[in-house]
């Protein structure tokens, strides 16, 4: 194994070789990774002076821009002092951890970005643990030191404690530290001495991060990111581990076991140049490139020259913890709002998604034309559903179910346990502790986090956390912040009480009438508005009691020729409960579905006919009695 800078033999004579550094930027969600990349691109000259550039330029996906989070890992590159620095921006949410685990194999160093006020959070712990495990030496960057409640020195101590708890080596614990504000565009060696630019961070990366290691032998590259392009077909991004590759060269693809997947030729080699991808004739060992021209080259596969026989080692991916059933929309309103409604197109779309997203698993459901999609968390699956509805799909989606596994030694059932960190005002801490204990959460730490706030740390089963975020925000008047992270597989914690309220179900099909809804207001809050189309079995509101109630929201006012002031007063309705996709998925019970279309999100019973529902209830009661 040699470094790229001492390996001129791997590069052809007519290709000028550029020195390289490969780094990842890893941090908790909303600590400023994507903004930092913006500043690095701007100050390295990646943009023209008169070029208009969107804020958070790396968040190219519409959903990423709307939600202000990074969902997909993406690569870019900058040139500083004649050295090309390939930078990978990673997601902060543990739900997208599959992205993070793969890209860490592409880089030789990592910038761990930490908020100067919040300190290291659960997702920081998740990604840093993966980075330390494969031997990366991190640079700690304390961001947002301009915040009024910044506490940079305490945060550095917390980072050191975190590294020590994650079994970092002495070399990894001796990390360099840099302070600054990505938003203001500066980094400095001291929090009290603001600089004018990011030069200190660039210099630290060149000094601290090693040049890429180059393997012996011919061309080999590990696929880490996959995308589909309408012109070039399948494009796989990865790092060249050894050798070099030219356009139109013959190659073969090996899977993890070393079996041949396909042979072919490289039609296009794309290199990252700023935020653009430029075609190049030849790529050399150590560089991060994208390759087109192969139909079956997948994530975790090895692309290599025909004489190579050994595949590269791919990092193992943590298993999924949640599953949902995606089925054809069979409601009376099916096909009125979307154009992709059949089982076949839903199947093709889900399997295509599973190809590029290794943290997702898709299986056909037994005895039906539905599909069971398993993933890391509610957010990951909700993002997939939201993407599909924007593409014109109509779906019926079940409540998220937790995946259990058997203990190989004892045979007992194990369920996923998560570490939950909740930052909350002191006055609301009592209700949070009470609700978490009802959901089988066990408090392991409680400490002040500054400004009359407490940081509560729980270990709780994933089952108990489904749908809790909305309730937490209601209980704390929107002031609490909750972060979750998969902790381990633990013994089953017993039954957890679900939703305490029943629902109001429409008993007929038509358009909802304001007068009928006004008369039903004492039964509970509505989820629909006047004029909305409803059908038999559709959920139109929440019942004030714990049982379901069928109601008529189509009943108009009886017209008479008598006029009185009391009869003719205007109907004033209470605003309905707004059901977003995530809120709807968390709200429904096992016998209910969320109907998702490009224009609407409706809640409904799985069985629309009331007689079918009664029969199912009787059968369930009989089973329970037996």
With beta carbons less than 8 A apart as the criterion, state whether 70 and 83 touch. Answer: no
CATH class of the domain comprising 405-491? alpha beta
Judge if pTM exceeds 0.85.
no
Token pair for 61: 């996906």
Token pair for 65: 């821009």
More confident residue, 19 or 52: 19
31 is in an annotated binding site: yes
pLDDT-derived band at 450 (thresholds 50, 70, 90) equals: low
Determine which of 48-52, 107-111, 213-217 has the lowest per-residue pLDDT on average. Answer: 48-52
Token pair for 46: 């990646």
Using the predicted structure, report yes or no on whether residue 123 has a pLDDT greater than 70.
no
First to last CA, the chain: 66
pLDDT-derived band at 626 (thresholds 50, 70, 90) equals: low
Using the predicted structure, report yes or no on whether residue 6 has a pLDDT greater than 60.
no
Q: DSSP letter at 308? A: -
When pLDDT is averaged across residues 229-242 and rounded to a whole number, the result is 83
CATH class of the domain comprising 503-625? mainly beta
133 is in an annotated binding site: no
CA 181 to chain CA centroid, Å, is: 25
Query: Could you tell me what percent of the chain has a pLDDT over 70?
Result: 85
CA 518 to chain CA centroid, Å, is: 40
What pLDDT is stored for residue 53 in this prediction?
40
Using the predicted structure, report yes or no on whether residue 30 has a pLDDT greater than 50.
yes
What pLDDT is stored for residue 569 in this prediction?
56
Determine which of 237-246, 454-463, 474-483 has the lowest per-residue pLDDT on average. Answer: 474-483
pLDDT-derived band at 126 (thresholds 50, 70, 90) equals: confident
Token pair for 512: 């909802």
99-121 pLDDT tens trace? 566 677 788 888 888 888 888 87
Longest dimension (CA), the chain: 99
What pLDDT is stored for residue 509 in this prediction?
92
Alpha carbon distance 267, 269 (integer Å): 7
146 is in an annotated binding site: yes
Token pair for 513: 């009438």
What pLDDT is stored for residue 14 in this prediction?
34
CA 208 to chain CA centroid, Å, is: 30
Same fold, 215-304 and 405-491: no
Look-up of token digits 């990074």 = 70
Alpha carbon distance 179, 235 (integer Å): 37
Alpha carbon distance 385, 397 (integer Å): 9
Sketch the domain layout of the chain as residue ranges.
2-213, 215-304, 405-491, 503-625
Q: Is 228 helix (H, G, I), strand (E, B) or coil?
A: strand
161-180 pLDDT tens trace? 888 888 888 888 999 999 98
281 is in an annotated binding site: no
Q: In terms of C-beta distances under 8 Å and separation of at least 24 residues, what long-range contacts does 244-248 make, across chains too? A: 244/10, 244/11, 244/12, 244/219, 244/282, 244/283, 244/284, 244/285, 245/219, 245/221, 245/269, 245/282, 245/283, 245/291, 245/305, 246/281, 246/282, 247/279, 247/281, 247/282
What pLDDT is stored for residue 570 in this prediction?
67
49 is in an annotated binding site: no
Token pair for 542: 């929440």
pLDDT-derived band at 62 (thresholds 50, 70, 90) equals: low
- The C-alpha angle with vertex 540 and arms to 538 and 543, in degrees rounded to 5, equals 115
Query: Could you tell me what percent of the chain has a pLDDT over 90?
Result: 16
Q: DSSP letter at 554? A: -
When pLDDT is averaged across residues 496-500 and rounded to a whole number, the result is 76
pLDDT-derived band at 512 (thresholds 50, 70, 90) equals: very high
32 is in an annotated binding site: yes
| CB neighbour list of residue 540: distance below 8 Å, 6 or more residues apart | 504, 505, 506, 512, 526, 527, 528, 534, 551, 553
Q: How are beta strands 137-143 and 177-181 bridged, if at all?
A: parallel
2-213: CATH architecture:
3-Layer(aba) Sandwich (3.40)
What does the mean pLDDT of the chain come to?
A: 81
When pLDDT is averaged across residues 595-624 and rounded to a whole number, the result is 88
When pLDDT is averaged across residues 114-138 and rounded to a whole number, the result is 81
543 is in an annotated binding site: no
What pLDDT is stored for residue 44 in this prediction?
65
208 is in an annotated binding site: no
**For 296, how many CA atoms within 13 A lie in the half-sphere containing its CB?**
11
Phi first, then psi: give them for residue 568, nearest 5 degrees.
-100, 10
pLDDT-derived band at 255 (thresholds 50, 70, 90) equals: confident
What pLDDT is stored for residue 552 in this prediction?
92
340-374 pLDDT tens trace? 889 899 999 898 888 767 678 888 888 778 999 98
Token pair for 467: 């749908």
What pLDDT is stored for residue 425 in this prediction?
87
Using the predicted structure, report yes or no on whether residue 537 has a pLDDT greater than 90.
yes
Q: DSSP letter at 105? A: G
CATH class of the domain comprising 215-304? mainly beta
259-284 pLDDT tens trace? 888 898 999 998 888 777 888 998 88
606 is in an annotated binding site: no
188-210 pLDDT tens trace? 888 888 888 888 888 898 988 88
For CA atoms 518, 523, 528, 532, the dihedral sign is: negative
With beta carbons less than 8 A apart as the criterion, state whether 548 and 531 touch. Answer: no
Q: How are beta strands 481-491 and 413-425 bridged, if at all?
A: antiparallel
The number of residues making up the chain comes to: 626
Look-up of token digits 């990951």 = 380
Radius of gyration of the chain (CA): 28
What pLDDT is stored for residue 122 in this prediction?
66
What pLDDT is stored for residue 1 in this prediction?
47
When pLDDT is averaged across residues 137-144 and rounded to a whole number, the result is 89
């Amino acid at each position: 194994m040699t470094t790229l800078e001492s390996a001129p033999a791997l590069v052809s004579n007519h290709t000028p070789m550029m020195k390289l550094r490969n780094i990842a930027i890893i941090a908790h969600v909303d600590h400023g990774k994507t903004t930092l990349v913006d500043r690095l691109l701007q100050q390295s000259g990646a943009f023209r002076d008169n070029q208009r550039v969107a804020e958070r330029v790396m968040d190219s996906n519409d959903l990423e821009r709307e939600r202000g989070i990074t969902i997909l890992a993406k690569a870019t590159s900058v040139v500083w002092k004649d050295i090309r620095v390939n930078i990978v921006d990673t997601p902060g949410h543990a739900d997208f951890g599959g992205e993070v685990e793969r890209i860490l194999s592409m880089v030789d160093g990592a910038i761990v970005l930490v908020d100067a006020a919040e300190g290291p959070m659960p997702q920081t712990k998740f990604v840093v643990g993966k980075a330390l495990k494969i031997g990366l030496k991190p640079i700690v960057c304390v961001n947002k030191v301009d915040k009024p409640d910044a506490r940079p020195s305490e945060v550095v101590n917390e980072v050191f404690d975190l590294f020590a708890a994650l079994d970092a080596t002495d070399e990894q614990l001796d990390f360099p530290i840099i302070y600054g504000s990505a938003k203001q565009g500066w980094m400095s060696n001291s929090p009290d001495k603001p600089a004018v630019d990011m030069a200190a961070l660039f210099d630290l990366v060149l000094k601290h991060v090693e040049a890429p290691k180059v393997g012996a032998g011919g061309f080999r590259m590990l696929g880490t990111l996959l995308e589909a392009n309408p012109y070039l077909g399948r494009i796989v991004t990865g790092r060249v581990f050894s050798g070099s590759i030219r356009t139109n060269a013959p190659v073969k693809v090996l899977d993890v076991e070393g079996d041949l997947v396909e042979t072919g030729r490289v039609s296009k080699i794309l290199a990252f140049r700023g935020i653009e991808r430029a075609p190049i004739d030849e790529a050399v060992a150590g560089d991060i490139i994208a390759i087109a021209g192969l139909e079956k080259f997948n994530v975790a596969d090895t692309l290599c020259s025909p004489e190579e026989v050994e595949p590269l080692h791919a990092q193992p991916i943590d298993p999924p913890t949640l599953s949902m059933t995606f089925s054809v929309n069979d409601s009376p309103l099916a096909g009125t709002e979307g154009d992709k409604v059949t089982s076949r197109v839903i199947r093709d779309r889900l399997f295509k998604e599973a190809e590029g997203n290794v943290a997702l698993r898709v299986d056909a459901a037994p005895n039906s034309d539905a599909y069971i999609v398993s993933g890391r968390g509610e957010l990951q699956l909700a993002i997939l559903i939201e993407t599909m509805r924007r593409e014109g799909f109509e779906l019926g989606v079940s409540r998220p179910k937790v995946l259990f596994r058997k203990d190989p030694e004892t045979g007992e059932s194990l369920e996923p346990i998560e570490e939950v960190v909740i930052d909350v005002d002191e006055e609301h801490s009592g209700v949070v502790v009470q609700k978490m204990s009802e959901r089988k959460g066990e408090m392991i730490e409680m400490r002040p986090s500054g400004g009359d706030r407490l940081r509560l740390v729980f270990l709780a089963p994933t089952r108990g956390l489904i749908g809790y975020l909305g309730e937490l925000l209601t209980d704390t008047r929107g002031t609490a912040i909750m972060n979750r992270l998969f902790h381990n597989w633990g013994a089953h914690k017993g039954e957890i009480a679900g939703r305490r309220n029943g629902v109001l179900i429409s008993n007929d099909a038509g358009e909802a009438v304001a007068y009928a809804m006004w008369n039903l207001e004492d039964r509970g809050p509505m989820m629909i508005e006047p004029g909305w189309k409803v059908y038999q079995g559709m959920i139109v509101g929440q019942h004030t009691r714990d049982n379901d109630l069928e109601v008529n929201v189509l009943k108009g006012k009886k017209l008479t020729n008598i006029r009185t002031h009391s009869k003719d007063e205007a109907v004033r309705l209470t605003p309905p409960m707004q059901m977003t996709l995530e809120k709807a998925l968390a709200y429904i019970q096992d016998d209910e579905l969320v109907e998702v279309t490009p224009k609407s999100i409706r809640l409904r019973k799985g069985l629309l006919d009331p007689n079918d529902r009664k029969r199912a209830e009787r059968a369930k009661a009989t089973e329970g009695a037996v």
